[in-house]
C-alpha cells in the first residue's frame, strides 16, 4: 500500500495554466506530473554537464581551472632554462669586457698571461772550439747579403699592412687646445693632455659605439668609444657627458663637455688616449692637434 501511495504521488497529474491578468483568458495550459518534472530537470542537467565537459576538454578554458595540468608548461620551462643560461653567459662575457675597459681607463696594462714556456737551455762549452776559414767566409757572405735585403716575414708584412690601414683613417681632433703633457710610457702617461677653454665640446675622433660612460674618482667623467680596426679612444676629466653606453656616434659629434673633474686633474683640460689592439699608442702619430 505504501508503494502504491508513493507511486500515485509522483504520477498525480497537475495542470499548469497561464492566464491573462486582466481578462483571465487562458493562454497556455499543460498537464504535468512530479515524475515528468524530475525527468525533465535530470535531462537538462545531463545536457549541461556534457556541454561543460566538452568545452573543458577541447578548448583553452581548462587552463583557467586551478590544478589542471598545462601540456605546454614543460616546453616553456625548458625554453626559459635555455634563455636563462644564454643570458648568464652573455652577462659574464660583458662583465669581462667591462673589466678590461676599466683596466684600460685606470691605466693598468695586464701582463701577458699566455706566456710561452721557455726553451730548455743547454750549456755548451765553446772555449775549445776554433772557427774555420770556411765558416768565417760563410758568415761574412750571409751578413753581406742581408745587409741591404728588402725581405720581410709574413708577420712583418701583416703588421705593416695593419698599421698603414689605421694611419689611413681620418682622425678628427677631439678638442681644440694646446698639448701640455705628451704621451710617455715610462711615466705611465698613456695619452696627451689638451688644455682648452671652459665648456669646450669634446668630439668623437672617429665613428664608433660608446662602450663606457661614467665617473671615476681619479679620472672624473670619462667616456670610451670603440672604433673599427680594434681602436678605442678615451676622453677623461670631462665636466658633463653627452652620450651614454650603447650610443653610436659619428666623427666630430659632441660627446662631452671639457672640465676639471677627477683627483688627477689640475685644471680645465681633456686627457685623450688612443688604444690599438689593447696597447696604448701616441695620439700625435695619428692626429694633428692645433
Look at residue 114 in the predicted model and tell me its pLDDT: 45
pLDDT in tens, the chain (290 residues): 556 677 777 777 777 788 888 887 888 887 878 888 888 889 999 999 998 888 777 777 766 666 665 666 767 887 888 888 888 888 988 888 888 888 887 777 655 544 444 444 545 555 555 666 666 666 666 555 544 444 444 454 455 555 667 777 889 999 988 899 999 988 889 999 999 887 889 999 999 999 999 998 888 999 999 998 889 999 999 999 999 999 999 999 999 999 888 888 788 889 999 999 889 999 998 888 86
Sorted by where each begins, the domain ranges of the chain are 1-82, 178-285
Which residue bears the cell 690599438? 276
Cβ neighbors of 277 (< 8 A, separation 6 or more) are 230
Which residue bears the cell 677623461? 236
Calculate the CA 136 to chain-centre distance: 62
CB 205 within 8 A of CB 251: yes
Give ∠ CA 23-27-31 in degrees, rounded to 5.
130
Specify the pTM.
Answer: 0.47
Q: Write down the CATH superfamily of domain 178-285.
A: Glucose Permease (Domain IIA) (2.70.70.10)
Amino acid at each position: 500500500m505504501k508503494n502504491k501511495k508513493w507511486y500515485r504521488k509522483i504520477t498525480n497529474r497537475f495542470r499548469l495554466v497561464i492566464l491573462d491578468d486582466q481578462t483571465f483568458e487562458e493562454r497556455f495550459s499543460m498537464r504535468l506530473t512530479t515524475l515528468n518534472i524530475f525527468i525533465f530537470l535530470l535531462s537538462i542537467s545531463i545536457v549541461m554537464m556534457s556541454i561543460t565537459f566538452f568545452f573543458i576538454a577541447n578548448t583553452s578554458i581548462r587552463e583557467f581551472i586551478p590544478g589542471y595540468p598545462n601540456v605546454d608548461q614543460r616546453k616553456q620551462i625548458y625554453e626559459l632554462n635555455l634563455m636563462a643560461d644564454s643570458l648568464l653567459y652573455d652577462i659574464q662575457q660583458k662583465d669581462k669586457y667591462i673589466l678590461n675597459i676599466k683596466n684600460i681607463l685606470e691605466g693598468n696594462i695586464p701582463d701577458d698571461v699566455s706566456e710561452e714556456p721557455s726553451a730548455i737551455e743547454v750549456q755548451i762549452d765553446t772555449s775549445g772550439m776554433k772557427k774555420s776559414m770556411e765558416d768565417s767566409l760563410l758568415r761574412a757572405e750571409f751578413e753581406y747579403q742581408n745587409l741591404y735585403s728588402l725581405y720581410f716575414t709574413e708577420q712583418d708584412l701583416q703588421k705593416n699592412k695593419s698599421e698603414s690601414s689605421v694611419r689611413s683613417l681620418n682622425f678628427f681632433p677631439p678638442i681644440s687646445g694646446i698639448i701640455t703633457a705628451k704621451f710617455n710610457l715610462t711615466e705611465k702617461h698613456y695619452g696627451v693632455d689638451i688644455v682648452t677653454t671652459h665648456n669646450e665640446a669634446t668630439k668623437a675622433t672617429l665613428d664608433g659605439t660608446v662602450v663606457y660612460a661614467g665617473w671615476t674618482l681619479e679620472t672624473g667623467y670619462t667616456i670610451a668609444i670603440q672604433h673599427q680596426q680594434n681602436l678605442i679612444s678615451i676622453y677623461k676629466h670631462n665636466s658633463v657627458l653627452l652620450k651614454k653606453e650603447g650610443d653610436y656616434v659619428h666623427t666630430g659629434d659632441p660627446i662631452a663637455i671639457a672640465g676639471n673633474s677627477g683627483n688627477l686633474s689640475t685644471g680645465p683640460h681633456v686627457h685623450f688616449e688612443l688604444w690599438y689592439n689593447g696597447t696604448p699608442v701616441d695620439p700625435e702619430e695619428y692626429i694633428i692637434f692645433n
